[in-house]
Amino acid sequence: MNVLVVDIVHFDRERICRALKNTPANVDKVAQFSEVVPRLKNQTYDVIIIGCSSDECQGISLLYELRAWPWDTAPAIVMVSRLEDVDLIQRCLHAGAQDYLFKSEISEKRLWFALANARTRYDIELKQLVDYKKVKHLSETDSLTGLNNRYMFEASLNAALANASRSSGHLEVLLIDLDNFKRINDTHGHDIGDEFLRRVTDNIRSCLRDGELLARLGGDEFALLLTGNEGQHSAARVSRRILDKLQYPITLQPAMGGQVSASIGISLYPEDGTSAEQLLKHADMAMYRAKKQGKNKFCYYTAEAQRRTVARVELENALKSSILDNSLELYFQPVFKQENKVLWGFESLLRWRRNEVLLLPDSFIHIAEETRLIRPIGKWIISSAVHQLKKWQVSFGTDVKMAINLSAVQLEDNHIVPFISSVISKYKIDPQCLEFEITETMLLDHSDHNIQKLQGISNLGCSIALDDFGTGFASISHLQRFPIDVVKIDRSLIPVDEHDEKNFFLSSGLTSMIRSLSLESVAEGVESEAQYECCKKLNVDRLQGFNLSPPLTHQQAGRLIHQLTSQPIMTQR
């Protein structure tokens, strides 16, 4: 038996070692508690004897640390102390010690008996733990697929419902029933059918992320629990991945295999029920509706949820191919210097032509951000806007500039700064002609990360503009902390006319503050001549809005540049 003695009291440590001198034990000793764990990494011990002094906290802490080790490699523990303290004894035993001795009782016979008893007790406890885990695993696991079974799924669903109720969360329950699986059992027998189910299980698993609970309820029926705040569209995306994956034939042996589809029913918490029973029942009803509608599809419990989700999925799919099918377009809203209405440049604005209808960003940009499609779309916008700017500069010999909006999701991309740099190099554009606009919310989320990305863009020579200032939570400290060059005052704060004293004084204070920080100001949404006159009195640096010009196509913007610069139009290639 390998034994390790740890006791900070030299006399007690040596006394224990002497008591074990004539026993079959191989004894090592250490004087500090901190030496135990490093020693255990290289040496296995059957029992560790831990001495508790008047300050027993270190011994108890070591005991807790050792009991966190895997049970099949951890040693038995015997605590020894001069303290005849009932509370201390209970704490040690509750923490996982197998025995407790008073140092006054230590003798060769007594100590050896305690060690043998501790090791035997530990082995019994280990066997009980292993047996418990086996029983627990059998009670919670489907023996065929290794998935959670119905009991475990319902228990997990109830726990998730309790948590969602406290946090106002959202849950999706999916019931997945294989279509025509009986045909495989009837054709090839139940052994092949069982193997087929295992392969189907692997295919479904490959469609899921960590933390998504998949269970087999019995037969060819599965259940899936999705948690989080992505809403019902998350269930639709997962369902589509599963249906697509099941389209591939499964080959079990040469000339033996098959293919199945699935019908999926979806219920939502809290819309479709607040209990596990209700959600499972309603998902089951939705699943049978999917079968009646031709199988190989998913259905929601309510028709309205189904309609919204199908429309959403169709929109996502169309948005995914928008770059390839050239349905994205850029419009350009002129931005003028306040003094003499000299053209400063343009703000690039995204449009999407879908089914012959020109859609504004409000109807689809949130989907692009949720699905992270904004990253490739955003790169297309940057590249297209810079390319167009270069064409104008070459054609008209002008130094007009371009403002480009950046999404918070784009800033999460570690490659955004190198990409912008590559576009600048590709089109040989002066980076001082580019201005990237961010929103106030980007100053609040992951600010250290965002500062790094924005500073990288600023270091390229581009300007950074803060959009919609005055409507959110940005403060003066944000203007100082972030590399911001331009502040765009939100249209809601621009005075309607000279009688709009509240907004006039508010905007006057904002422009004075912006000017004191050596930043440029831009007034958005200048829609009337009265607003233009107010902005002149406020001494805003730049203006944009329908009073000056609506967003223009690139051809219209080119004609405007020609008109204002009186330069001959050159053919653009």
Strands 99-102 vs 261-269: parallel, antiparallel or unpaired? unpaired
Determine contact, residues 82/104, Cβ cutoff 8 Å. Answer: yes
d(Cα 556, Cα 290) in Å, to the nearest integer? 50
At the top level of CATH, which class does the domain 2-139 belong to? alpha beta
Give the type of residue at 115.
L
- Residue 71's pLDDT is 62
- Residue 481's pLDDT is 77
What are the residue ranges of CATH 3.20.20.450 in the chain? 321-565
- Residue 277's pLDDT is 92
Write out the two tokens for 78: 């015997």
Write out the two tokens for 123: 């082995």
- 321 C-beta neighbours (distance < 10 Å), count: 9
At the top level of CATH, which class does the domain 150-318 belong to? alpha beta
Strands 26-30 vs 76-81: parallel, antiparallel or unpaired? unpaired
Answer positive or negative: Cα dihedral of 438, 440, 446, 452: positive
- Residue 391's pLDDT is 96
Q: Which three-class secondary structure state does DSSP give residue 92?
A: helix
Q: Which three-class secondary structure state does DSSP give residue 483?
A: coil
- Residue 389's pLDDT is 97
d(Cα 495, Cα 531) in Å, to the nearest integer? 6
pTM of the model as a whole: 0.58
Residues listed for the chain: 573
d(Cα 143, Cα 149) in Å, to the nearest integer? 9
Task: Name residue 264's beta-bridge partners.
Answer: 176, 298
d(Cα 463, Cα 468) in Å, to the nearest integer? 16
Yes or no: domain 321-565 corresponds to CATH 3.20.20.450: yes
Give average pLDDT by consecutive 10-residue segment, the chain, 573 residues: 88 89 88 86 87 70 80 82 83 87 87 89 84 74 88 91 88 92 78 87 88 89 83 80 87 66 92 92 90 89 78 86 92 92 95 93 90 93 97 93 94 93 97 93 69 93 89 66 88 84 86 90 91 90 93 95 69 43
CA distances from 460 to 405, 444, 547 (A): 17, 23, 34
Determine contact, residues 3/20, Cβ cutoff 8 Å. Answer: yes
Determine contact, residues 105/62, Cβ cutoff 8 Å. Answer: no
- Tokens 């831990």 sit at which residue? 50
What are the residue ranges of CATH 3.30.70.270 in the chain? 150-318
Determine contact, residues 495/503, Cβ cutoff 8 Å. Answer: yes
CA distances from 506 to 427, 472, 477, 495, 513 (A): 41, 15, 19, 9, 11
Answer positive or negative: Cα dihedral of 61, 63, 67, 72: positive
Determine contact, residues 489/542, Cβ cutoff 8 Å. Answer: no
- Read off φ and ψ for residue 520, nearest 5 degrees: -90, 150
Q: Which three-class secondary structure state does DSSP give residue 311?
A: helix
Task: Name residue 250's beta-bridge partners.
Answer: 258
d(Cα 76, Cα 47) in Å, to the nearest integer? 5
- Residue 430's pLDDT is 96
- Residue 379's pLDDT is 96
Contacts 24+ apart (CB under 8 A), 242-251: 242/176, 242/203, 242/204, 242/207, 243/296, 243/297, 243/298, 245/203, 245/204, 245/206, 245/207, 246/200, 246/203, 246/204, 248/203, 250/196, 250/199, 250/200, 250/203
- Residue 242's pLDDT is 93
3-state secondary structure string across 14-67:
HHHHHHCCCCCCEEEEECCHHHHHHHHCCCCCCEEEEEECCCCHHHHHHHHHHH
CA distances from 537 to 318, 511, 533, 549 (A): 47, 11, 6, 20
CA distances from 231 to 216, 321, 402 (A): 24, 23, 37
d(Cα 377, Cα 163) in Å, to the nearest integer? 37
- 154 C-beta neighbours (distance < 10 Å), count: 17
Task: Name residue 100's beta-bridge partners.
Answer: 79
- Residue 388's pLDDT is 97
Q: Where are the beta strands (DSSP E) in 166-212?
A: 170-179
- Residue 570's pLDDT is 47
Determine contact, residues 287/262, Cβ cutoff 8 Å. Answer: no
SS3 percent helix, strand, coil of the chain, rounded to 5, is 50, 20, 30
- Tokens 């038996």 sit at which residue? 1
- Read off φ and ψ for residue 5, nearest 5 degrees: -110, 125
- Residue 231's pLDDT is 54
